[in-house]
Amino acid sequence: MHQSIVVSGFGGQGALFAGQLLTYAAMDIGRQVTWIPSYGPEMRGGVARCTVIISDEEIGSPIVRNPDVVIVLNNPSMEKFREELKTGGVLVVNSSMINLPAERQDIRVFNIPGNDIARGMGDVRMTNMVLMGGMLAANPVVPLAAVEQALRDHLPERRKHLVEPNIQVLRRGYREVANY
Whether the CB-CB separation of 13 and 123 falls below 8 Å is answered with no
Q: How confident is the model at residue 171 (pLDDT cuts 50, 70, 90)?
A: very high
* Bridge partners of residue 149, in order along the sequence: none
Cα–Cα distance list, 45 to 10, 40, 53, 84, 121 (Å): 5, 9, 25, 23, 23
**How many Cα atoms occupy the beta-carbon half-sphere of 93 within 13 Å?**
24
- State the CB neighbour count (10 A cutoff) for residue 93: 25
Residue ranges per structural domain of the chain = 2-178
Specify whether domain 2-178 bears CATH 3.90.230.10.
no
148-162 pLDDT, tens per residue? 999 999 988 898 889
- Count other C-beta atoms under 10 Å from residue 165's C-beta: 16
Task: Return the amino acid letter for 8.
Answer: S
Rounded to whole angstroms, the Cα distance separating 161 from 135 reads 24
Q: What is the pLDDT of residues 79-98, one digit of tens each?
A: 989 999 999 999 999 999 99
